[in-house]
Structure formats: structure tokens, C-alpha cells
Amino acid sequence: MKLRIFITAFAAFLSLMLLQGDALAEVPNFPVLVPLTGFLSLEGTSQRNGAVMALDEDKSVAYGVFDTATSPEVAVNAMERALRDRIHTGVIIGPILGTQMLAMLPLAEEYQVPLVTISGTAKLTEMGNPWIFRFFPGDAVTKVAHARYAVEELGRRRPAILYQTTAYGQSGRGHLETTFRSLGAVPVYQEGLDVSVRDVTAALAKAMAAKPDVLVLHLHSGPTALLVRQARAQGIDLPIVAGSAMHQPTTAALLEPSELRDVCAETGSSPISGGSPEMERFTADYREKFGSDPDAFALAQYDATRMLLVARHTGPTGGAPLRDWLASHEFRGLAMTYKSDGKGNMAHDAVIVCYDGSTRTPHIAMRYKGVDLAR
Amino acid sequence: MTARNPVRAWLGRDINVLLLAGAIGLAAWPFFAGDAYSLRLLTVAGIYALAAIGYQFVFGHAGALSLAQGAFFGFGAYVAGILSVRMGAGFEVTFPAAIAASTVLAALVALPVLRLQSHYFALATLGIGQVVLLVAVNWESVTGGANGIPNVPALSLLGATVGRGWPMLLLVWSLVAIGALIARRLTGGLTGAALRLMREQPMAAEAAGIDIRGVRFAAFLLSALYGGAAGALQVHTVRVVSPEVLEFPVMVMLLAIAVIGGRTSVAGAILGAVLLVHLPEWFRPLERYYLMAYGLALLAMIVAAPWGLIGLLRHVRQRWLPEPEPPPPVAGPMPVGRPPARLEITGLTRRFGGIRAVDGIDLVVTPGESVGIVGANGSGKTTLLNMIAGAEKPDSGRIGWAQADIAGLPPYRIARAGIARTFQTLKLVDGTTALDNVAAASWHEFGGPGRDAARAAAMALLQKLDLAETAWKPCGALPPGLRRRVEIARALIGGPALLLLDEPAAGLTAAERDSLAGTLAALNNDGTTVVVVEHDLAFLEKFVARIVCLDQGRIIADGAPADVRADPGVVAAWLGQPLDEGGGHG
């Protein structure tokens, strides 16, 4: 009986799968390839929501959302799947995970399809690939703002850096160390943490033994919340300047407001901090549509997708024409004004947000404009 | 009557017709699907199939839960990626280099790791993967750190680029076909039966002369070899090598392929790989819920097909279209007997903590003798037998056999020296036929291709022991008496000069005991020396001329059965009261 039920169910499933196929729409297709599962699922969900919001508002293009999980192989599979409809798919909205984007770059060049991402991995735009466009400030922007705020605004000279042993973490650590040294604040301690580490008290103890005057974090969302909580539980009251993960409402939601006192974060923007009527409208619409607060990743993806839609309405919908259009046009988004620096870096501004200990909504403490362009 | 067409005969066997249809369907699928995505998925499936075929050597055939296959796969990918990007090496260099590097890595870690058993072995092999992963993440100057090494060029072979799509697909599946044929060759025939014996009854395998550690070592290296080969292909398919290729999900994928496809079937590895690479892609439109659907599908498959999908197909075939039992093979000549030798035990001692299980035993068994060893429970009978057979190492003493001291030698070497044994608890492979249970024990003599010769020899023994009718019956379906005799037949296939039996009459009916006693008497008359540990004196008296009685690890009586029975020390220590004529004890 068990066997018969299994065989029948399996046959039915196979039939459904064979009948299934991506609908060949007559309108342009903007596939959204983002990590919805795995350790970057929070960031990936923000990406998805930002893109979907822009696409749903416009309604002139078709789209499908595909989970890229956390492996390059799955991301490339998803890209090949999206590009089955080569006639209508002229651009790929790519994942935030750097190693996935690195795997997708050769394929983008081969297929001549622009890749739009909000990944911060520096290497992406350092390889001379003309098909990549990054709409989130990279490490060359955010890590400079990160270090400058700690040194210039907080007056700290003995930073301890705790970073993630992922591509994101190693790339950011390099930029942080270089910038701190250039500012005359040599890091007194550095340690890489695996994303699976759940107890960071040993790392904190070692860092504190080096007598730092500020904790500088460059971690993903969950590990950031863990570290802040365990630092405060140990009575460490040093200021913490964290990476962009700490600005995310989903990260802040994991902590009590009191634990967030003297915690700041670099990011490209902070939609929930307001700043303009357009930003507040975006935040309200986002909350209504998805039932959660938007973060900088959602807003950056929203802005990036809107720029693609502007291109679609003015002419190019894909391939080399779209690549050239993105490389040569300026777009005024909600977070900032985007313009390529010739390598595909479209975002050049960063902000520092800080929590005051009474609420989970941060305020913008500092804006850094055109950081990489100015150097 | 005309001979049956051999092609039709092959198609009618097992699930061959389904496998052929599956292979044709698999080959035809890209022609229908045809797009780059489908070709890519099949290419990736081929790569995982190759790694999984390799994994079957250690996990399936050797029965060791290694969790290092993902590490060998990723290590091969890194070696190929680094050579390709940093030195511009072509596939003619990267492929053998990846294979060699993974195999050398396996050889280096095998020495400490293969000493471990069960979950300790699994944990140690998992540790290998973690160490390799840490090196990949932290040795940034060589491995590119967490970013890995991007822009790995397309596969280039002798200067010609093998592009993605059809060329890569054909290359990968050609290598899968070669790998599959080699695996079939290495694990089919008599070797397959021997590996199953080793996996399910390791003590019996060693007693049959199989060097389990050697086989496990070879299987571990082969698995790494295949893993490295698959890794070299993977890096040119994904075009980036990063720490994700060394992470646990890759290992889980290979494990799932082996479990769901079938642990020991090459076709199972291929079917599992094709299915498990495609399954998440079919569910991908479910967005974040796809993992739930994927997990449920895997669970359903494991529940419905615990022996793997190939096992399920075989089960269905046997249930709905049972194969007729083939005629028994023609019996060959009886195995050639080893030259007779004298067993000379001196001062043999074995302690377990503070207990002396065997305490300075001196014993001589001359060629052609038939000796019974009796004594109360815990008197040291089985420990003595185990030390002679190599299953226990003595603390001191000498076991002389054919002018050599065999004390402390591993069981397989003692078996090859002409000493065979049976076990108190039967150690047969229940799912294997009586014929192949016996034939498998001659693997170290006939080798993999010698299955027909081994079966002929096994058939001769089955006939001699009145077991001809059971040849094609699975041992699990036989009554205890016949199972005992199958085990004796297995012990005899190496033509031993000395046969050790541990309580062979346990659990048998009176008729079965009589029959077994007759069999053992006949063997002894043919020149085989027989040493039997037994509780049943009446059973022993039917065929032994000498009985040795042990008490607390020492010999308290040694002589003709009637003398031992009457010995006051034996009565006091074991019998308790004189037995009636023909009565048993134990």
C-alpha cells in the first residue's frame, strides 16, 4: 500500500514537473535571483522585496524570483534557467552574495547580459568586467565611512576588528585595516568569526585583553546581533561601530533597545530613519506590502530596479544597449544619486546610523558623499 | 530446443531492461530539452554522479560512513582551479593533478583515520573536511580566501576549448561512463559478494582471508580519486572555486545521492545524482518554501525506498514479475586441501581486566585429529578458539602452526595459512544466496573475475554437504540446521587443514545434530583436522576421539571422551553429576 501511494504520488509529481515551464511572456523579463534561504536569507529577502516592489509598481515587465541559496553552483543554475528566454531577458537582478556574483560574471559576459547587484564584495568591480553594476556602496565607500566615523567623530584610536570569515568579511576587513592605518589608528586586535559560531564570548575576551577603545564589527546580520548582545551581557560598554547588517530592522529586532545604546552602523541608507517625504512614502508602502520594515538593501534594490525600468521606458531593455545606458546615465534614487565610476560602481555615498538606547529606530548621525569618487 | 538469445536473456535479468530504458531516456533528454539550462543541469548531475560512484566504494561497498568525500571533491576543485588560473594549465594537467592530489590527501589521512570504527570514523572524516575548509578560507594568498578564485577559464584540453553546453556535457558523461565501467569491474562479480560479506559480517570476512583494512584503505583512496576527478570537472563548470565547494552541503548531497539512489549500485549513483540535481530546480519556483518541499520529497523517498531507488525497482520487479530460479551451476572440483600441520599451543594466556580467561594453556593437536573442547560458561573455550583464529590477541604464549608462530597475527593471515572457523552466532549474509555466501569466501584466491570458478567450487561443497537444493536460496530463508552447514561449507572453501567450530550444534534439532555430526565425521575422515567447542557431550562423542575440558582458563582434563566424562575434576567443575548414557549437557 505504502509503495503504491509513493509510486502514484511520484508519477503525478513528475508529470507536473514535465508540464511545468517558464511562461514565455511577450514583455521584457527581469529575473530576480536572490538568496532566500541560508545565512543571507534576511538580506536576500530585502533584495527580493525591493525589486518586487519596483516591478509591481511599474507593471510593464514580467519577473520571476529564484532562490540562489548560498552556493555559486545554484546561482549559476538559476542564471541559466533565467536566460532560457533569451529574447525577453536582457538583464539579471543578481544576488547579494559575492561568490555567487563572481561565478555569474563569466556567464554574463558570454551571454552579454548586464548583472545588477547590491553585493558589497570589492572584487566584483575590480575585474574589468563591463557587465556588472553595483547599486550598493562597496567596501571602498562604506568601510572608509566606517573607519572615519570611529576615528574622526568618536575620537577612537585603538579599534578591535571582528569580521566574518566569508568573502564579505575578508574583503571588508582589508579595507577597514587600510583606512584605520591611514588615519593613524592601528587596529589592536583582529579576529575572523565563522558564520556558524554561536558563542563569541571567547573572541570578546581576547579582544578586550588588547585594551581597545572601540569595537568595530564587520559581520552578517545574525552574528552581529549575537555579538552585540553578548558584549553587553559581559558588561562591555565600549562604543560599537558595526557593518551594514546592524542598520537592518530585522537585526535590531533581535536586540533590546537598551543593548543598542552606543551602537552605530555604516550603510548606504536607512529608510526607516526618514529624511524626505519620498522616503517616508516608500517606507509606508513597503510596510503595507510586506508587513516589515525596509532596510538599505531593499531600498538599494528598489532604486536599482527603478533605474532599469527607466531604461526600459526610454529604449534599451537588455544586452549591450542597456549596459551602455547604465554606464553613461545618472539616476536620482531615493537613497542617493547613482552614477557609474567606469567600473560599474553606481553608489558612492554612505551614512552612519546610531541607536540612542531607547528605540530600535536609528537616526542618521553622519553622511559621507562621493567617498570613492573624491579620492 | 534452441538456445535462448543472449541479448533477450540479458534484458530479462534483474532490472536490466529498465536500466537500458533509463540510459536511452537520459541520452535522449538533452535532445528534447536542448536549452543551455537543461544541458547544464545534466552536466552538473554527471559531475555529482562521478563523485557519488566514488563515494560508493567507501560508504557503500566498504560499509564505512566517510564524511570526507565532499572534502576530496572540493580539494580536487581547488587544485584544478589554482593550476588553471595561476599557471594556465589545461585539463590534461589539471585533471590528473586533481586526482593525484585528492588521492594523496586520502592516503595521508587514511593511516590514522582508518583505525577508527563506526561513528568515530565518521567524525574523524568530517574533521578532514573542516580542516581543508579552514585552510581554504585562511590561506588567502593561494586560495583567494573566502572570495575564492574567480574567472576560472573554460575547460581546455590540449589547446582546444571544451565549451559549456554539449561539449562539456559529452566530456563529463564520457568520464562518468568510464568511471562507471571501472567501478563495475572493481566491485562486480565475486568481489561484489566479498564486499557484501565484509560489510555485513566483517568477522566472517576476515576469517575467510579477506584483509578488511586493506580493502577499506583501497576503497578510501578510490573514493578520493573519483572525488578529485569530479572536483576538477566542477571547477570548470562553475568557473569559480570558493569555500562553498568544501562546505558540508556538498557532502550531504553526495550522501543523499548514495542513499536515495542505492549504496552499492552504479546505476543508483547516476539515478540519484540526476534526480537530486533536478529536484531542487523543479521546486525552485516555490521560493523560500522549496527547501520544505525538497525535504519532504527526500523523506518520502527514504521511507518508501530504504534500499534506494534501484533497490525499490528490484523489489517491484521481484514482486510483480519474479525471475525464475536459474539451474544450479555445474559443480567443479573440490577445493585443494592445505598440507596438514600440527597445532602446538604453549603457555597461552589472555586476561580481561583482572580475569584470566585463558591461563597458560599448553595444547597439541596433531594432523587429522578431531578434538572437542568443553567446559562451563566462562571457562575460556571461545577465547581459546578466538586466539587460534586471530580474533583475540594473546597476552603471552605461542601458537605454533606449520613451523611458524601465528599468535597475534590478524585473522585473514591465519585463514590464509590454512585455519578456518565458524561462529557461535551464525555470521552469514542473509540476503545473499547460499552459493554466493560460500563462493565469496574464496575471493582472495580467485579474485574478482573468478566468480564462475568460485561458484563451481562452492557448488561442489554444497553437494558434499547435501545443500545442492539451497544453492540459489537466500541464507535468511534457510532453517538453522542448513544455515550451520552453509557456514561450514564456507569455512571449507579455502581447503583448510584445520577447521575450528564454535558451538555448531547450538539451536539445532536432534535430527539436525545427528546430521551435522555425520558431516563433521566425514570431513575428519577426509583428513581435515577438526577442533570443536561445544557443550553437548553426546553430540561430540559421535565424531571426536579426544575431549579437552577447561575450567577457569586451564585444562583440567584431556583424553578419550569416556575418560573425561568420568574425571572427578570435570564432574565437580562442569557436569555436576554423572550423566546417563546418551545424555547431553549444556
The answer on pLDDT for B349 being more than 90 is yes
Same-domain pairing of A236 and A195 = yes
Shared domain check, A248 and A123: no
**pLDDT(B447) > 90:** no
Instruction: Produce one character per residue of A41-58: b if its CB has 16 or more CB atoms within 10 Å, e if not.
Output: bbbbbbbbbbbbbbbeeb
The mean of the pLDDT values for chain A is: 90
- Residues whose CB falls within 8 Å of the CB of residue B324, separated by 6 or more in sequence, listed in order: none
Residue A88 sits in a domain whose CATH number is: 3.40.50.2300
Q: Which residues contact A337 (CB under 8 A, 6 or more apart)?
A: A330, A331, A349
- Split into its structural domains, chain A has a count of 2
Asked if B244 lies within 8 A of A72 by C-beta distance, the reply is yes
Residue A33 has, within 13 A of its CA and on its CB side, a CA count of: 32
Would you say residue A49 has pLDDT above 90? yes
Q: A127 in contact with B at a CB cutoff of 8 Å?
A: yes
β-bridge mates for residue A366, sequence order: A352
The strand pair at B498-502 and B396-401 is best described as: unpaired
The whole-angstrom separation of Cα B513 and Cα B110 is 46
Q: Rounded distance, CA A32 to CA A61, Å?
A: 12
- pLDDT of B146 reads 85
Task: Look at A67 and B41 and tell me if their CB atoms are within 8 Å.
Answer: no
Q: Tell me: pLDDT of B213 over 70.
A: yes
- CA atoms lying within 13 Å on the CB side of residue B40: 22
Q: Is residue A2 part of a domain?
A: no
Q: How high does pLDDT run on average in chain B? A: 90
What confidence score (pLDDT) does residue A12 get?
56
CA nearest to B199, candidates B499, B427, B462? B427
CB contact A219 to B (< 8 Å): no
Q: Give yes or no for residue A153 having a pLDDT over 90.
A: yes
Cβ of A66 within 8 Å of Cβ of B285? The answer is yes
Q: Decide: B74 and B245 in contact? Cβ < 8 Å.
A: yes
> Would A15 be classed as within a structural domain?
no
In this structure, what are the phi and psi dihedrals at residue B567, rounded to the nearest 5 degrees?
A: -65, 125
B565 has pLDDT over 50: yes
Q: Is the ipTM of this complex over 0.85?
A: no
The CA distance from A308 to the nearest CA of chain B, in Å, is 23
Asked if the Cβ–Cβ distance from A103 to B239 is below 8 Å, we say yes
Farthest CA pair distance, chain B: 90
Residues A178 and A264 both lie in one domain: yes
Q: Is the CB of residue A2 less than 8 Å away from at least one CB of chain B?
A: yes
Residue predicted with more confidence, B118 or A137: A137
- Burial bucket for residue B475 (CB in 10 Å: 0-12, 13-18, 19+): buried
Q: Which residues contact B442 (CB under 8 A, 6 or more apart)?
A: B190, B208, B335, B450, B454, B457, B458, B493, B494
Which set of grid coordinates corresponds to residue B27? 541520452
B65, exposed or middle or buried, with CB in 10 Å at 0-12, 13-18, 19+? middle
CA distance B412 to A62: 68
Same domain, A241 and A291: no
User: What DSSP assignment string belongs to A186-236?
Assistant: --SEEEEE-TT----HHHHHHHHHT--SEEEEE--HHHHHHHHHHHHHTT-
A295-339 pLDDT, tens digit per residue, is: 999 999 999 999 999 999 987 888 899 999 999 999 999 999 999
| pLDDT tens column, B461-493 | 999 898 999 999 999 999 988 999 999 999 999
Asked if residue A11 is part of any domain, the answer here is no
A186 & A199 share domain: yes
Question: What confidence category does residue B570 fall into, taking pLDDT thresholds of 50, 70 and 90?
Answer: confident
Q: Are residues A289 and A260 in the same domain?
A: no
Residue B583, pLDDT > 80, answer no
Among B511, B52, B549, B522, residue whose Cα is nearest residue B276: B52
Say if residues B434 and B473 touch (Cβ distance below 8 Å): yes
As given in the structure block, the three cell numbers for residue A106 are: 563569466
Mutate one of B140, B238, B286, B303 to test the A interface: name it (highest A CB count within 10 A).
B238
Please report the pLDDT score of residue B471 as a whole number: 92
Q: Which residue has the cell 536572490?
A: A34
Q: Average pLDDT of B229-235?
A: 97
**Is residue A1 domain-resident?**
no
Find residues 86-145 of chain B whose CB sits inside 8 Å of chain A. Answer: 137-138, 140, 145
Gyration radius of chain B's alpha carbons? 28
Say if the Cβ atoms of B290 and A67 lie within 8 Å.
yes
Q: How far apart are CA B266 and CA B300, in angstroms?
A: 22
Say which of A37, A107, A192 has its CB closest to residue B291. Answer: A37
- For residue A57, being part of any structural domain is answered with yes
Instruction: State how far the Cα of A33 lies from the Cα of A199, in Å rounded to an integer.
Output: 32
Give the number of other CB atoms < 10 A from CB of residue A235.
6
Q: Is residue A210 part of a domain?
A: yes
**Nearest residue to B292 via CA among B307, B274, B306, B279:** B279
Residues 158-197 of A with CB under 8 A from B: 165-171, 192
A250 lies in the same domain as A361: yes
Segment holding B110, helix H or strand E: helix B91-113
Unique residue bearing C-alpha cell 547588517: A245
- The answer as to whether A16 is a domain residue is no
Same domain for A243 and A288 = no
Residues A85 and A149 in one domain: no
pLDDT band with cut points at 50, 70 and 90 for residue B1: very low
**Euclidean distance between CA atoms A279 and A295, whole angstroms:** 11
Q: Are strands B160-161 and A350-354 parallel, antiparallel or unpaired?
A: unpaired
pLDDT in tens, B313-344: 888 888 888 877 788 888 888 888 888 899 99
Tell me, yes or no, if B299 comes closer than 8 A to chain A by beta carbon: no
**Least confident segment among A15-29, A316-330, B169-183:** A15-29
Which distant-in-sequence residues (6+ apart) come within 8 Å of B556 by Cβ?
A: B549, B550, B567, B569, B570, B573
- Cell readout for B360 is 597458560
Nearest CA in chain A to B35: A84
Q: Is the dihedral of CA B567, B571, B577, B581 positive or negative?
A: negative
User: Is A19 part of any domain?
Assistant: no
Print the domain residue range for A50: 26-136+277-349
Minimal Cβ distance to A67: which of B41, B242, B288: B288
The torsion angles phi and psi of A100, rounded to 5 degrees, stand at -70, -45
Give the mean model confidence (pLDDT) for residues B66-84: 96
pLDDT band at A121 (very low <50, low <70, confident <90, very high): confident
Q: Which residue type does B564 have?
A: V
- In this predicted structure, the answer to whether residue A1 has a pLDDT above a threshold of 90 is no
**How far apart are the C-alpha atoms of A222 and B495, rounded to whole Å?**
67
Query: Tell me, what's the pLDDT at A87?
Result: 73
Residue A136 scores a pLDDT above 80: yes
